[in-house]
Amino acid sequence: MDWQTKRIYWDIELKNQWPEAVKTLSRKGAKILDFSNPEEITEADIIFTVGRGDVHASCIPVLRTDKYPDQLCCDMVTDEMTAGEAMGVFERWIDIRCLASDLDLTDIPVVDKYTTESLERLAGPDVLRIGRGKFLKSATRYLREMELAKNGHKIEEVTKVLHTLKGSSGTIGARQMSRATKLIEDRRESEFDEAVFTMELNLLRMLLEYFRYESIEWENKRSNGEKNFNG
């Protein structure tokens, strides 16, 4: 993984809590953005924060400490972790962000506008809301099933579940997720590397959180009476 191009935003509190991690990541080539300048957050490829509620951007993993648990973050470091364990979390998500770039996911919208419009028109907004809820629930289950199948070396089972997830995500308009599952499925046809698939699973978890976030946003705007909002 090429970390040279990755720009990492560290919240000032995290920098104080994990100074060694910041130094190590810098040594590995990651560009650390100015901790004191929240403006730079928009330039980031990955964000480590203690809990800014408004921080979110497409394909930017957001990590938080357990001080501010939030369902929209991808992962957390906790006060109980050793520096090495925390570093492991940081490294894992930088690699996942690199994978998202490698798969060209970063320029793809989280939610497909056309699919959303089509489903709203044919089924109605309530059905779309329920459908998205079902998707989030079933996708979470599929990710868990794939994790278990991977651990049990049941590659065929992984392939089946991944295929189902691909179909569901495309149908509901989870476009990044749909694209990622397609690419992962194509890679599976030629090889199965457990370490790579572990990372791919984490990538899918991250994309699912983005879709959850976008769905909540969509619903909030709907309930606030904003018309013609297409995700």
Site for other proteins, rule CB under 8 A: 115, 118-119, 122-124, 127, 130-131, 134-135, 138, 160, 163-164, 166-172, 178, 182
CB of 182 to other proteins, least distance (A): 7
Q: Phi and psi (nearest 5°) for 52?
A: -85, 115
Distance between terminal CA atoms of the chain? 32
Minimum CB distance to other proteins smaller for 93 or for 142:
142
Closest residue by Cα to residue 52 from 9, 17, 109, 94: 9
The nearest distance, CB 178 to other proteins, in angstroms, is 6
Q: Measured from the CB of residue 222, what is the shortest distance to other proteins in angstroms?
A: 17
From the CB of 185, what's the least distance to other proteins, in Å? 8
Helices 194-223 & 175-190 angle (0-180, nearest 10): 170
Extract the tokens encoding 194: 């457990």
What single string gives the DSSP state of each residue in 146-173?
A: HHHHHHTT-HHHHHHHHHHHHHHHHHHT
Question: Whose structure tokens read 């990044």?
Answer: 176
Q: Can you name the residues that pair with 64 across neighbouring β-strands? A: 76
Nearer to other proteins, 23 or 121 (CB): 121
User: Nearer Cβ to other proteins, position 68 or 114?
Assistant: 114
CB of 228 to other proteins, least distance (A): 18
Specify the length of the chain in residues.
231
Cβ closer to other proteins: 67 or 134? 134
Our CB check for other proteins shows the closer of 5 and 118 to be 118
6: nearest Cα among 108, 96, 103:
96
